[in-house]
Amino acid sequence: MALQQLLQISFFMLIACTAMAINPEAEALLRWKSTLIGANSLSSWSLAHPTCSWYGVACDGAGHVTALSLPGEGIGGKLDAFYSTAFQNLTRLDLSSNNLAGAIPVNLSMLLTLTSLDLSINSLTGAIPYQLSQLPRIARLNLGDNHLTNPEYGKFSPMASLEFLSLANNDLNGTFPWFVLNCTGRRMRWLDLSANSFSGHIPSSLPEMIPRLRYLNLSYNGFSGPIPRSLPRLQELKELCLDNNNLTGGIPEELGMLSELYLLMLLNNTLDGPIPASLGNLTSLGIMDLSRNQLHGSIPPCLAKMQHILAFRLSGNNLNGVIPPELFTNWTMLQLFDLSKNSFSGSIPAQIFNFTILR
């Protein structure tokens, strides 16, 4: 009788322990882990430890998983087994810089609490599921550096909470993706579509649709046509990279109105015309690279007003005239100055030899 009681008690304890250990979130994570290759860093993922102490897992006060952050852990495998209805409180998922392959499963778009999804720098393939745009709270979406192909652009839903979007370095093509303009809005601060095969014009309505951008990178694509004169409406823009495209026409005088601009990269296009004197008004500018274009005329002396410039490149254009000596009296922070492969005349201003860094 005593023995039977003891056995019964042990049995109930076993049940209790098992019920405690197998919470659905732990079960879902373990199921996904079992499909992975090279998940050595996930050795703490076992029912022997509380789920909230597992490597890369963060929980809320109630013990629900709120974040999974495993960047650069050498994890291989797929995402197919990741989704589970158990993840009711997951806000951040960061699996960047791993070896994940295969497609992005549509069911990730059912993780309705997500605010940040980072799958960048993996080997993901297939079309970007438009359903990700249905994540109601998504603020940060980074799918950069994969091999993803065109989504069904027309099926995107409005993503009013989106602040950061990178689709850089994928296999996207066609004209500028309209969903970016039509489905995002005033919260967008960071847009990176660089290193794809987009072509056609840069839409002139971009500044009106996403007016609060601070970072815009469209470099290494096949965009053609002019730099939109409307860009200065991006009054908070700090970094503008339009380099390595097929842009033509002149550098719009209006760019001089981007008063917050720190970085201006227009190199390796086929821009022609003069360097607008208005660029001298870019007094926050640190880096300007206009090299490998077809710019002509001379360097406007009022560029001397860009007193915070660190790096200035105009090589490989058709510029001529004399190099204004004012540049070197005012540009006290200059570290890189490259005017090679042009047709400048006159002597090198003596002032340049007073630059300790250049010298």
Told to check if 350 binds ligand NAG by CB under 6 A, we report yes
Told to check if 116 binds ligand NAG by CB under 6 A, we report no
Pairing of strands 65-69, 57-59: antiparallel
Told to check if 107 binds ligand NAG by CB under 6 A, we report yes
CA 35 – CA 78 distance, rounded (Å): 7
Are 94 and 68 in contact by the 8 Å Cβ rule? The answer is yes
Q: Which of 45, 54, 220, 262 binds ligand NAG (CB under 6 A)?
A: 220
Q: Which of 281, 291, 293, 317 binds ligand NAG (CB under 6 A)?
A: 281
Told to check if 72 binds ligand NAG by CB under 6 A, we report no
Q: Which of 18, 53, 173, 332 binds ligand NAG (CB under 6 A)?
A: 173
Told to check if 260 binds ligand NAG by CB under 6 A, we report no
**Residue 303 CB, nearest distance to ligand NAG (Å)?**
8
Q: What share of the chain is helix, strand, coil (3-state, %, to 5)?
A: 25, 25, 55
**Residue 350 CB, nearest distance to ligand NAG (Å)?**
4
**Residue 241 CB, nearest distance to ligand NAG (Å)?**
5
Told to check if 175 binds ligand NAG by CB under 6 A, we report no
Alpha helices in the chain, H assignment, sequence order: 2-21, 24-33, 178-183, 206-209, 326-330
CA 287 – CA 331 distance, rounded (Å): 12
Q: What is the largest CA-CA distance in the chain?
A: 110
Told to check if 244 binds ligand NAG by CB under 6 A, we report yes
Q: Which of 64, 212, 214, 308 binds ligand NAG (CB under 6 A)?
A: 64
CA-based nearest residue to 164, from 180, 147, 182, 148: 180
Told to check if 330 binds ligand NAG by CB under 6 A, we report yes
Told to check if 109 binds ligand NAG by CB under 6 A, we report no
To the nearest 10°, report the CA torsion of 333, 336, 337, 342.
-160
Sheet with 99-102, strands from edge to edge, namely 76-77, 99-102, 123-127, 147-149
Q: Which of 42, 195, 266, 314 binds ligand NAG (CB under 6 A)?
A: 195
**What secondary structure letter does DSSP report for 349?**
P
Are 90 and 113 in contact by the 8 Å Cβ rule? The answer is yes
Told to check if 340 binds ligand NAG by CB under 6 A, we report no
In the complex, which residues of this chain contact ligand NAG (CB under 6 A)?
A: 60, 62, 64, 80, 83, 88-89, 105, 107, 149, 154, 168-169, 171, 173-174, 178, 182, 194-195, 217, 219-220, 222, 239, 241, 244, 246, 256, 263, 268, 277-278, 281, 302, 304-305, 307, 326, 330, 350-351, 354
